[in-house]
Structure 1
Amino acid sequence: MAGTNALINLLNNLKNFWQSRHKVIEEKFDRSLPFGDYIVDRWEKAQALGFEEGASVYDNVCVFGDVQVGKNSWIGPNTILDGSGRLMIGSHCSISAGVQIYSHDTVAWAISGGKDAYEYGTTRIGDDCYIGPNTIIAKGVQIGDRCIVGANSLVLNDIPNDSKAWGNPAKLQL
């Protein structure tokens, strides 16, 4: 019985905490967030991950391996940052919600019945880039500085500086 009461008290405390934080965030930013984002500060999480000053990353972002993020870059919610082969994101970047950035793949491993190794390649996004929502960036892709990648794009090839690309697969726009 004592354990049940302690659990009920804990749940009530969490509910009260959520209600008070929800009210503050709603009034200040006009938004509602997943529970973890009321507890975890985006800038503190980025700092704990070794990201540069002013970078922020939501609590629900998956971060694997060697991921480097430059100053004042924003990593949106529900993203995957796969640094198992090394991932570098420059400064002043906006990585929108639902983006998946990979630095490895398991294609050779899967089609060989597990005989071949995973493949790795450094993936880089330059400074001052915008990556649209739900974009997927494959391992080893290099995106230059000041680039825009449109929403829902599949980026399989490098994108040079000062370019715009979108589509599935992403194509440079002139």
Structure 2
Amino acid sequence: MTAVELLDQLKRLWLERRSEVNERFKRTLPLADYIVDRWEKARELGFGEGTSIYDSSLVFGDVRVGEHTWIGPFTLLDGSGGGLEIGSHCSISAGVQIYTHDTVERSLSGGKAPIVTAPTRIGSNCYIGPNTVIAKGVTIGDGVVIGANSLVLKDIPSGSKAFGTPCRVVGAA
């Protein structure tokens, strides 16, 4: 099979899958998300039963995820700096970035200081709103709601509702 024939087959597959998904769910996706099974990818990463993760998501280092957690498209899960743990029954919305390291001191020192690392943890039954950024070393308790576009720099206690830049607790979830 030539490269042109293979490309034609791929285009036909894409058009067919795009039509099926749009008809069934009224959505369009990046090419790989039509082909890659989200639940299979989660299983291959060792995530809990019933968890799904879009192919457009990036996963680095030691990342552990519990059962029945939904990880949306275009997310970044960085477990390279000491491990990232996400509990069960969570929703990690589109565009969320979760870190376990930063290079601020290294950059300011001209490369002399080390990369700073710390494990990050999100409890169970949490909702993390779209485009939220969670910094290294943060612990988010169980049953927490984090509003969209938040910058989480400090721990958030269980049962809280929090949002903002920087993120702050505004009430009970």
Band of TM-score, shorter chain:
over 0.9
Deviation at 1:21, TM superposition (A): 1.0
Could you tell me the TM-score, scaled by structure 1's length? 0.95
State the alpha-carbon separation in 1 of the partners of residues 90 and 105 from structure 2: 32
Deviation at 1:171, TM superposition (A): 0.8
Residue from 48, 63, 68 that aligns with 2:59: 63
Deviation at 1:34, TM superposition (A): 0.5
- Give the equivalent residue in structure 2 for 1:80: 76
- Give the equivalent residue in structure 2 for 1:115: 112
Show structure 1 runs of 4+ deviating over 3 A: none
Deviation at 1:57, TM superposition (A): 0.4
Whether 1:129 and 2:117 are equivalent positions in the alignment is no
State the alpha-carbon separation in 1 of the partners of residues 131 and 27 from structure 2: 20
Amino acid in structure 2 at the alignment position of 1:156: L
Q: How many residues align?
A: 170
- Between structure 1 and structure 2, the one with the greater Rg is 1
Unaligned runs of 5+ in 2: none
Alignment of 1:1-174 (within 5 A): 6-84=2-80, 85-174=82-171
SS in structure 1 at match of 2:78: strand
Could you tell me the TM-score, scaled by structure 2's length? 0.96
Amino acid in structure 2 at the alignment position of 1:31: R
State the alpha-carbon separation in 1 of the partners of residues 12 and 24 from structure 2: 19
Percent sequence identity over aligned pairs: 61
Q: For structure 1, which segment, 24-33 or 42-51, has the greater mean C-alpha deviation from structure 2 after superposition? A: 24-33
SS in structure 1 at match of 2:107: helix
